[in-house]
Amino acid sequence: MTNDTARTFVDGTTIRPIRPDESDAESAVIVGAFAAGPYGHLPKSAERAAFEADTAGRGADGAVLVAVGADGAVVGTASVLRAGSRYSRVARPGEAEVRLISVDPSAQGAGLGAALTRASLEAALDWGASALVLDTGSRNTRAQALYERLGFVRDPGRDAVVGAGVESVVYRFPLQPRDDVVVRLMRADEADAVAALVEHAYAADFELNAGYRADIVAVAERAREHRVWVAVDAMTGELLGTASTPRAGETMSPVARDGELDFRFLGVAPGARRRGIGEALVQHVLLLARIRGLERVVLNTGPDMLAAQRLYGRLGFSRLHEREFTFVRPDGSSFQMLAYGRDARLAA
């Protein structure tokens, strides 16, 4: 989750990166949630108290997210940390770790814990982390049920005793389906290269008119409004492919309806074809939909995009005939814009 990204929860609560003037309120939420939890009766070490109070330090290690109510009050928080940083405890190289998922006792029971966990997953996905990991006390069965419901799996090899009377259990959520490819958010300095890649990918399949070509190559502008993802070689960093999705709660095209995620501008570099890069990017979109709690992934594609249509069919997408329409070119010619969709809740 980048600094300009926020998501609005059902009751008007917004989850977003913390602002400097919210540090004290954020720490207070952590203290209150801990006191109300299954370990609130235990004495707190000075090291733990300092960790909870060091909002700036946690932010320097990654990102601090807050849930802010309609009245502007901080009612929840989560710290997403990079592996190897000062406050990371169980993450291995390439992973991200979330700690201090906390909801003010007065706001508990409304699903904010799940929303903060989903936002933490998306922040780790932005970075291209291989997984998001976390640990929680063995007595915190309510939290464990939440993590399992969201798709985290136990990693008992990392369990440990982390304090007097506190046994830690570890959960992991995989974020990258392949070891040789990393999918992450595009960096600003990659916009020109991504524009060239997607232009070449589309021009290889059909002739582009000036208006559509301009839309395809407007990558920097698109990244300001939406989310531009890139697939890169895990060893060399070579740019292999790209796809774009909307921010949480938004859409990129009329094909999407409530509870759905649409995506556009799927392209693979000519030299990376036949490596499964297109499939990896579509799997990434499906994963993003599940992280956001959405039911379906949808898209439009042109009749000339035969390779893309074969890919969608192979991955379980089916035609949405009722959402298809006739697209008229500036020269008066036209074609049928196809629509596809599939259930995001099925394994990619």
Instruction: Tell me the two tokens of residue 40.
Output: 């609130």
Residues 81 and 215 in one domain: no
Residues 143 and 239 in one domain: no
Residues 300 and 335 in one domain: yes
Give yes or no for residue 322 having a pLDDT over 80.
Answer: yes
- Which of 174, 205, 229 is at the close of a domain? 174
Residues 134 and 275 in one domain: no
Query: pLDDT tier at 47 (50, 70, 90 boundaries)?
Result: very high
pTM score above 0.75: yes
- Chain mean pLDDT for the chain: 93
Q: Which of 80, 61, 66 is CA-nearest to residue 27?
A: 66
The 10s digit of each residue's pLDDT in 78-125 is 999 999 999 999 999 999 999 999 999 999 999 999 999 999 999 999
pLDDT of residue 4: 53
Query: pLDDT tier at 13 (50, 70, 90 boundaries)?
Result: very high
User: Do residues 136 and 169 touch, judged by C-beta distance below 8 A?
Assistant: yes
Q: Quote the domain boundaries for residue 46.
A: 7-174
- Which of 174, 204, 221 is at the close of a domain? 174
- Which of 159, 174, 189 is at the close of a domain? 174
Give yes or no for residue 347 having a pLDDT over 70.
Answer: no
pLDDT of residue 3: 44
Q: Which of 244, 249, 282 is CA-nearest to residue 265?
A: 244
CATH number of the structural domain spanning residue 38: 3.40.630.30
Residues 58 and 185 in one domain: no
Give the residue ranges of DSSP H helices in the chain: 23-36, 46-53, 55-60, 112-127, 141-150, 191-203, 210-217, 219-225, 277-291, 306-314
Residues 77 and 58 in one domain: yes
What is the total residue count of the chain? 348
Query: pLDDT tier at 327 (50, 70, 90 boundaries)?
Result: confident
Q: Which of 28, 255, 3 is CA-nearest to residue 126?
A: 3
Domain count, the chain: 2
Residues 218 and 84 in one domain: no
